[in-house]
Amino acid sequence: MFAFYFNLKKIILLSIALPFLLTGLAQAGEVKTSPIAVLELFTSQGCAACPSADRLLKKLGERDDIIALAYHVDYWDYIGWKDIFATSENSNLQRAYSSIQKTNHIYTPQLMINGTKDVVGSNTNEVDKILSSAKLYIPIDMKYDNDYLEISVLGNEEFSEAIIWLVSIKSTREVEITRGENSGKVFSYSNIATGRRALTMWNPEQGVNIKLPFTQILQEDDKGFAIILQEDFNGLPGRILGATSYFR
């Protein structure tokens, strides 16, 4: 069972969300403020079918209206090559999606679109079809001020409570594979999710406003981060309601 943990004592009190500002952030990097979709690719360096999906994710991630995240899983490591980006947490997230969808299997390359649509990550036509009608419902605003990042999300009583997640991201990395199904090949990986943690709950009546030191948001080795608002059902992930991202 996938679960999330956070310390309520560290959560800043909820309040009405502030107006949208991106002072400092937009000047220092790329901010995606109005995405239509969050793409979560479950992939592995040891999977022969994954490179085409990895390339598609990179291409789609270059769009201004898409946030792309590559979650490398560890359950293929036994076949000969240990994925250097893989974590058990990523595998557990994929299993959580399988549980909420009531399927009895996980696979790579699996692409989740906005937390609800499941498609083979290399199936360009099917991905394009889903994206043609994709949308997110709730805007997430960010303000950078005096080394603090302020995240504001207005309330919307049409939805139930959700979690605000912070996903840290590494940029493009080249990796030479020396064993396993992809032995002898060099691949370029991008949008690599390196961590996922819950910041706070979102209250659909009041909205939420949190303020965190920027050093806690963006670590030295990170290229950027995504802020994701996602429904939660007893520890299982539901629809993604909103998102924004920053790359330096």
Residues 6+ apart with CB under 8 A from 9: none
Q: What's the confidence (pLDDT) of residue 58?
A: 96
Longest dimension (CA), the chain: 55
In the three-class reduction of DSSP (H, G, I as helix; E, B as strand; rest coil), residue 216 is classed as helix
Q: What is the distance, to the nearest Å, from the Cα of residue 82 to the centroid of all Cα atoms in its chain?
A: 22
Dump pLDDT digits (tens) for 55-95: 999 999 999 999 999 999 999 999 889 999 999 999 999 99
What six digits make up the tokens of 93? 């997230």
In the three-class reduction of DSSP (H, G, I as helix; E, B as strand; rest coil), residue 94 is classed as helix
Q: What's the confidence (pLDDT) of residue 120?
A: 98
Q: What's the confidence (pLDDT) of residue 220?
A: 79
CATH superfamily assigned to domain 8-247: Glutaredoxin (3.40.30.10)
Residue 168, CA distances (Å) to 109, 131, 221, 227, 230 in order: 21, 24, 10, 9, 16
Q: What is the pTM of this model?
A: 0.88
Q: Where does the pLDDT of residue 219 fall: very low under 50, low under 70, confident under 90, or very high at 90 and above? A: confident
Residue type present at position 153: V
Across residues 111-116, what is the average pLDDT? 98
CA pair distance 96, 64, nearest whole angstrom: 28
